[in-house]
């Protein structure tokens, strides 16, 4: 029951802000569900988030808030980076990985809050001259996503906004293309070393399907309020990041 509820919360955040699924999934698995090995939590959450991202993508696509060409280009560039990053991440101590993860979250949260009132272009098209920037952001984001074992939505959303100038709502919907691709790549890499709990991942996925539907509906309602999605996105990141820093520092006895 706890795993199902945690999965629903992850799905809700994914549907609502595109990112934050793994930001919540990893600490929930470690601190709430009780997964002892952070690497198992990372591999398991990557699979669950990837599947739940597809559910959220379906609802955003029906609402017309997915820019497919941008999303596919971003994801394609990031898959190779995710494979490399996840290979490196498995070699780093689990608690140190969680601490580095939390510090990166603070940086991204600060950037999103700073640009929270950016309106964006609702009619963005990934023309040829825009693709190099999209591919560059995609490759770098994929590497970070793989290294930290995350779907990478909280990096993909600001990456899409900065590289294309699209609206926050479209970035949320479009990001789920890359979140799914990065998550499956990372999960496959971790599964090769037996670092995926298939039963737990299944429970998170079931809970996430219901949460994702609600999140997509709420995202469309909040989109009419300027800066609301970005502020919510940044706030969620800050809260979880500070908690993870507190727990990780204690575990490392720093």
- Residue range 5-18, pLDDT digits in tens: 888 888 787 777 65
The larger pLDDT score, comparing residue 32 to residue 93, is at 32
Q: What is the pLDDT, as a whole number, of residue 198?
A: 93
* Structural contact between residues 90 and 96, judged by C-beta atoms closer than 8 angstroms: no
What pLDDT, on a 0 to 100 scale, did the predictor assign at position 83? Answer: 79
Q: Model confidence over 187-245: pLDDT tens digits?
A: 888 899 898 999 998 998 888 888 877 877 777 776 666 566 667 777 777 877 787 78
In this structure, what token pair is assigned to residue 85?
């990053």
Give the pLDDT confidence score for residue 247 in this predicted structure. 73
- Mean pLDDT for 30-54 is 85
What is the per-residue pLDDT for 149? 62
What average pLDDT does this structure show over 135-155? 77
149 vs 133: which has the higher pLDDT: 133
Q: What are the sequence ranges of the domains in the chain?
A: 2-252
Closest residue by Cα to residue 53 from 204, 199, 188, 164: 204
Residues 162-188 have a mean pLDDT of: 84
- pLDDT value at residue 151: 56
pLDDT digits (tens, 9 = 90+) for 98-141: 788 778 778 877 876 776 665 566 677 777 777 888 888 888 88
For residue range 60-76, what is the model confidence (pLDDT) as tens digits? 888 888 889 888 999 89
In this structure, what token pair is assigned to residue 173? Answer: 């919907």
3-state secondary structure of 122: coil
Q: What is the mean pLDDT of residues 64-90?
A: 85
Q: Compare 254 and 203 and report the one with higher pLDDT.
A: 203
120: left (phi over 0), alpha (psi -120 to 50) or beta: left
Place of tokens 């002892």: 36
CB 248 within 8 A of CB 98: yes
Q: Burial letters for 177-204: b for 16+ Cβ neighbours within 10 Å, e otherwise?
A: bbbbbbbbbbbbbbbeeebbbeebbbbb
pLDDT at residue number 197 = 92
Query: What is the percentage of the chain residues whose pLDDT exceeds 70?
Result: 84
Residue 163 pLDDT > 90, yes or no? no
Q: Is the pLDDT confidence value at 86 over 80?
A: no
């Amino acid at each position: 029951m706890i795993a199902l509820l945690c999965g629903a919360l992850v799905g809700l955040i994914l549907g609502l802000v595109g990112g934050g699924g793994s930001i919540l999934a990893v600490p929930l698995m470690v601190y709430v569900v009780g997964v002892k090995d952070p690497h198992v939590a990372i591999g398991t959450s990557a699979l669950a988030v990837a599947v739940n991202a597809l559910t959220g993508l379906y609802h955003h696509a029906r609402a017309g808030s997915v820019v497919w060409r941008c999303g596919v280009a971003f994801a394609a560039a990031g898959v190779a980076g995710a494979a490399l990053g996840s290979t490196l991440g498995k070699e780093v101590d689990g608690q140190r990985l969680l601490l580095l993860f939390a510090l990166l979250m603070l940086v991204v949260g600060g950037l999103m809050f700073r640009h929270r009132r950016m309106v964006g272009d609702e009619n963005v098209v990934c023309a040829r001259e825009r693709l190099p920037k999209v591919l560059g952001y995609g490759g770098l984001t994929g590497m970070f996503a793989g290294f930290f074992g995350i779907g990478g939505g909280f990096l993909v959303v600001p990456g899409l906004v900065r590289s294309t100038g699209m609206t926050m709502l479209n970035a949320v919907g479009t990001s789920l293309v890359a979140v799914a691709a990065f998550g499956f790549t990372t999960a496959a890499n971790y599964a090769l070393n037996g670092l995926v709990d298939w039963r737990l991942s299944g429970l998170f996925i079931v809970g996430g399907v219901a949460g994702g539907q609600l999140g997509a509906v709420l995202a469309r309602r909040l989109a009419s309020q300027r800066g609301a999605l970005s502020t919510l996105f940044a706030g969620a990141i800050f809260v979880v990041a500070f908690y993870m820093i507190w727990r990780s520092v204690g575990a490392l006895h720093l």
